[in-house]
Amino acid sequence: MTKPLKLIFLLIGCFLLGWAVSTVDLLAVADLLIKLGYGFIIILILYSSVTWVDTIAWKNNFKQEETRQFNMWSLWCIRQIGEAYNTITPFGTLGGEPVKAQLLKERHGLSLKQGMASQIIARTTFLIALILFFIPGMYFIIKSDMISEKIKMTCLIAMLTLSMLILFFLIFQSAILLE
């Protein structure tokens, strides 16, 4: 990308940031932060811990010789950039994955194939872990007297459907690897 184009995007980004900040009631935000108190710091620590653990897990998706090309800080920064794209794009949690792969290619010389493969593995392991979080949640939903039977059945069907789709995705990946 050329320097003038980068400058234009920087200026547009600064303008949009200024506009976004000007539309927010900063006094209300400050009041909410004061109400949160130390809870805000706890939330930041927990979220930071999650992002670092996710980065460590992502690093383990690469071959040993590939991991010598980058350090944890660089990988964490790439992850944060990708997550920012996930937040601003209409593609949900998939918009930033190609960005992460491209950054791995540009900054560390990995191929797009290596970068995307690591993202697919990371996303699959995340989805499998999500199923493990569904199970206790479903237990509490089923045991609850406050939730109707119709909602309980809908939740159970949704969990089973999503779990089966994740299993099919895993089988699909395994079948491709065996070819």
* Boundaries of domain holding 135: 31-178
Tokens 């460590």 — which residue? 56
> Is residue 14 a part of any domain in this protein?
no
> Is residue 17 a part of any domain in this protein?
no
Please give the pLDDT value at position 158.
93
Please give the pLDDT value at position 122.
83
Compute the chain's Rg from CA coordinates: 21
pLDDT: which is higher, 45 or 68: 45
N-term to C-term CA, the chain: 38
> Is residue 89 a part of any domain in this protein?
yes
pLDDT reading at 132 higher than 90: no
> Is residue 83 a part of any domain in this protein?
yes
> Is residue 98 a part of any domain in this protein?
yes
> Is residue 118 a part of any domain in this protein?
yes
pLDDT reading at 177 higher than 90: no
- Region 12-32: what's the mean pLDDT? 90
> Is residue 173 a part of any domain in this protein?
yes
The pLDDT > 70 percentage for the chain reads: 97
Cα separation of 174 and 95, whole Å?
A: 24
pLDDT reading at 113 higher than 90: no
Cα angle value 113/75/110 (rounded, 5°): 30
> Is residue 149 a part of any domain in this protein?
yes
Per residue in 30-67, pLDDT (tens digit) is 898 888 888 888 888 988 898 898 898 888 888 888 88
In the chain, how many domains are there?
1
